[in-house]
């Protein structure tokens, strides 16, 4: 790219100098020549004689270029839109933002172009060197192959010359030229097959060596680290990952238990706060109860004093009352009085019977005195 840009700038500078020198031409001719230089397609390099301008040709070319420009602009817009969608999908929207420090970036771009040009020159030199070596190798190969073919042709000619005129030992007949030619063609074919097989063997050996070197390089990941060690480390890694997963499961269980215990502790704290409040209210009630207890004790002392006075007065009254205070004696006295009443009634009945019997005796005696004869 740098090589293509540099000569284009030089040619433009030369053309501008030639246009400044050629002041004899008219303004129309100079404008046409500038358009031709910018386009680089029609009327290029015509600046020595009078120019006959075909306006229709230039108009057609202008229209074609405008159509091409429109198509290219539409394609450019579509590509920009696709790039914007791609960067949005990849979450690389910072690429679409305008860059800062543009001169610095241009300098970097120029440096990259110069480095690319140097690399390209190195690549061209290396390719030229490789082509030269390849040409020398091909020349050596062609010479050796030609020499080998000449030697083989000489060998076959010698064999043909020696083989013609020979006689079979068993049959005693001379060998025909066709059989000699057939043996020679068979020998050539076998030699070609052998050379092809040798070439295949050499290519296969080279491929095997390359694959072995690749396998060795693949087996050696880093200095002092082989694939077997890597596989062992991978197995250990898998084991450690499984252990880590188990530990993570245990951690999840422990976290769940911790959350449950934290909830329980929070509930217990709430209960403790509630119980503290209840204890405070109970302590207040206890203080009131203690005050009431002291008052009750004072009242109890007063009541006990009154009780003692009443007890002493009751004892005095009991002493005064005598039997009235003893229920058993009162009960016996009541029984005795009841029995006395019964005995009195019985006494009255007996006295009545006695009076009746005495009256009967008196009547009987009176009758006996009145009628003594009845007794005899």
- Residue 122 pLDDT > 50: yes
Tell me: do 318 and 277 sit in the same domain. Answer: yes
Tell me: do 237 and 315 sit in the same domain. Answer: yes
pLDDT of 100 reads 64
Tell me: do 288 and 237 sit in the same domain. Answer: yes
Residue 314 lies in a domain: yes
pLDDT of 133 reads 94
Those residues with Cβ within 8 angstroms of residue 37's Cβ, 6 or more apart along the chain or in another chain: 12, 15, 44
Q: How confident is the model at residue 375 (pLDDT cuts 50, 70, 90)?
A: low
Residue 150 lies in a domain: yes
Residue 45 lies in a domain: no
Lowest mean pLDDT segment, chosen from 22-36, 46-60, 326-340: 22-36
Q: How confident is the model at residue 86 (pLDDT cuts 50, 70, 90)?
A: confident
Please give the average per-residue pLDDT across 87-95, as a whole number: 77
- Residue 32 pLDDT > 50: no
Tell me: do 239 and 316 sit in the same domain. Answer: yes
pLDDT of 55 reads 83
- Residue 283 pLDDT > 60: yes
- Residue 129 pLDDT > 50: yes
Q: How confident is the model at residue 331 (pLDDT cuts 50, 70, 90)?
A: confident
Residue whose structure tokens are 């100079």: 30
Tell me: do 231 and 315 sit in the same domain. Answer: yes
Q: What are the pLDDT digits (tens) for 177-208?
A: 788 888 888 988 998 899 899 999 999 999 99
The residue with greater pLDDT, 256 or 1, is: 256
Tell me: do 318 and 231 sit in the same domain. Answer: yes
Q: In the chain, what percentage of residues exceed pLDDT 90?
A: 32
Residue 62 lies in a domain: no
Residue 209 lies in a domain: no
Residue 196 lies in a domain: no
Tell me: do 232 and 317 sit in the same domain. Answer: yes
Domain end position, chosen among 136, 163, 190: 163
Those residues with Cβ within 8 angstroms of residue 35's Cβ, 6 or more apart along the chain or in another chain: 58
Tell me: do 238 and 306 sit in the same domain. Answer: yes
220 by DSSP, 3-state: which? strand
Q: Where are the alpha helices (DSSP H) in 220-321?
A: 227-321
Please give the average per-residue pLDDT across 118-132, as a whole number: 94
Domain end position, chosen among 114, 138, 163: 163
Tell me how far the alpha carbon of residue 94 is from its chain's centroid.
26
Q: How confident is the model at residue 36 (pLDDT cuts 50, 70, 90)?
A: very low
Domain end position, chosen among 134, 163, 192: 163
Residue 149 lies in a domain: yes
Total domains in the chain come to 3
Q: What are the pLDDT digits (tens) for 203-253?
A: 999 999 999 988 888 777 777 777 778 788 889 999 999 999 999 999 999
Domain limits at 364? Answer: 336-370
- Separation CA 76–CA 72 (nearest Å): 6
Averaged confidence pLDDT in the chain: 80
Q: Give the tokens for residue 103.
A: 């001169």
pLDDT of 44 reads 43
pLDDT of 204 reads 95
Residue 364 lies in a domain: yes
**Half-sphere exposure in the Cβ direction for 271 (13 Å, CA):** 6
Tell me: do 317 and 233 sit in the same domain. Answer: yes
- Residue 107 pLDDT > 90: no
Q: What are the pLDDT digits (tens) for 341-365?
A: 999 999 999 999 999 999 888 888 8
Q: What are the pLDDT digits (tens) for 287-308?
A: 899 999 999 889 998 998 988 9
- Separation CA 56–CA 160 (nearest Å): 80
- Separation CA 61–CA 39 (nearest Å): 10
pLDDT of 316 reads 82
């Amino acid at each position: 790219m740098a090589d293509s840009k540099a000569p284009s700038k030089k040619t433009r500078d030369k053309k501008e100098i030639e246009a400044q020198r050629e002041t004899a031409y008219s303004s129309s001719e100079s404008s046409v020549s500038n358009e031709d230089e910018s386009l680089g397609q029609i009327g290029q390099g015509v600046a020595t004689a009078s120019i006959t301008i075909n306006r229709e040709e230039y108009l057609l070319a202008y229209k074609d270029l405008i159509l091409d420009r429109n198509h290219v602009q539409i394609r450019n817009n579509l590509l920009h839109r696709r790039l914007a969608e791609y960067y949005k999908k990849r979450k690389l929207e910072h690429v679409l933002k305008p860059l800062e420090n543009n001169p610095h970036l241009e300098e970097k771009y120029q440096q990259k172009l110069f480095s690319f040009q140097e690399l390209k020159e190195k690549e061209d030199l290396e390719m030229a060197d490789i082509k030269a070596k390849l040409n020398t190798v091909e020349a050596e190969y062609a010479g050796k192959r030609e020499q080998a073919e000449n030697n083989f042709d000489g060998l076959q000619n010698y064999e043909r010359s020696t083989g013609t005129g020979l006689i079979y030992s068993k049959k005693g007949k001379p060998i025909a030229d066709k059989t000699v030619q057939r043996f020679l063609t068979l020998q050539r074919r076998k030699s070609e097959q052998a050379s092809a097989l040798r070439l295949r063997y050499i290519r296969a050996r080279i491929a095997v060596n390359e694959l072995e070197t690749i396998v060795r390089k693949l087996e050696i990941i880093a200095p002092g680290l082989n694939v077997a060690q890597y596989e062992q480390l991978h197995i250990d890694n898998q084991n450690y990952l499984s252990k880590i997963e188990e530990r993570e499961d245990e951690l999840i269980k422990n976290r769940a238990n911790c959350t449950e215990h934290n909830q329980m502790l929070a509930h217990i704290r709430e209960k403790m706060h509630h119980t503290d409040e209840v204890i405070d209210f109970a302590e207040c009630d206890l203080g009131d109860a203690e005050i009431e207890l002291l008052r009750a004790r004072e009242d109890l002392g007063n009541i006990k004093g009154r009780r003692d006075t009443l007890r002493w007065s009751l004892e005095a009254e009991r002493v005064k009352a005598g039997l009235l205070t003893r229920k058993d004696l009162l009960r016996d006295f009541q029984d005795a009085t009841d029995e006395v009443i019964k005995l009195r009634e019985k006494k009255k009945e007996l006295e009545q019977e006695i009076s009746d019997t005495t009256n009967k005796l008196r009547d009987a005696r009176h009758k006996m005195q009145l009628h003594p004869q009845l007794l005899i």
